[in-house]
Amino acid sequence: MVIVGAGRVGLALQRRSIEASIDCALVRRDGGWEIFAQPVSVGPIVLAVRNDDLAAVVPRIPAHRRDDLVFVQNGMVRDWLGEHSLQGATRGLLFFAVPSRGAPIEDGPPSVFTGPHAATLAAWFGRMGLPARELDWARFTAVELEKLVWNSAFGLLCQRYKVDVGTVCDHHADELRALVDELRVLGRKTMSVDIPLDVLYDKLVAYSRTIPRYQGAVKEWPWRNGWFELAAERHGYDAPVHRRLLDETGARPT
């Protein structure tokens, strides 16, 4: 296994892999790239880098190895992948926590993978003692929307009220439900996946209650809340709760 990126996730996965006696090479910003020059270098390449770093990292991967790339970023990555002819690449959504760089993984719900290397990634996670499963594209898309809505809705409400996700569930439930509904509709219009509001809301709240002290924020603007705002403009859809909360937090980039 090859991991590109020595941040929280990359380091934690390499450590867990080594602890499970699984060979795992880590490519850092300033070293390790020679592994791609080896003629016997095969298998998945997990890109554990920030979304904004993809444009700099992907060109450093030899063209003949790009079919092996595995993208595990949060947020709306699919548009970027389509623009760069990588829409057929393996995708992953990671459901575990790494509190800080160098810290061990805190297990969560099963991570999910889809694409050419999905089975290999799920098996790797299993050998490391991390729950994971392979999904077809349609089911993965539904989970992708769920996680995108969770990151965007809870991040915005946590930042607006300076509270953790548990408090959002307990004291801002009506506003949360309205916001989730707006983002859900935009997901349906853009991603052609329809999740009933009650089902989606209950899933997001249930997950939040497993990590009640986590405090989110508006992050990675073009890939999360910014993507939803552009989608609203594109589809002529009014999302007043999302717009108002962004105005009140001053979260839009200047």
In single-letter form, the type of residue at position 206 comes to A
CA distance 97 to 127: 18
pLDDT of residue 42: 75
User: Does an H or E element contain 206, and which?
Assistant: helix 197-208
Same domain, 126 and 153: no
Same domain, 86 and 99: yes
Give the CATH number of the domain where residue 83 resides: 3.40.50.720
Domain, as residue range, for 205? 138-249
Q: Is residue 254 part of a domain?
A: no
Q: Could you say which of 82, 111, 135 is where a domain stops?
A: 135
DSSP assigned state of 221: G
Structural domain count, the chain: 2
CA distance 184 to 153: 10
Same domain, 128 and 24: yes
pTM assigned to the model: 0.92
Same domain, 43 and 117: yes
Same domain, 200 and 86: no
Could you give the C-alpha distances from 254 to 212, 231, 250, in angstroms and in order?
Answer: 31, 19, 9
Q: What is the pLDDT of residues 45-64, one digit of tens each?
A: 999 999 999 999 999 999 98
Q: What is the pLDDT of residues 11-49, one digit of tens each?
A: 999 999 999 999 999 999 899 999 988 776 679 999 999
Q: Could you say which of 135, 163, 185 is where a domain stops?
A: 135
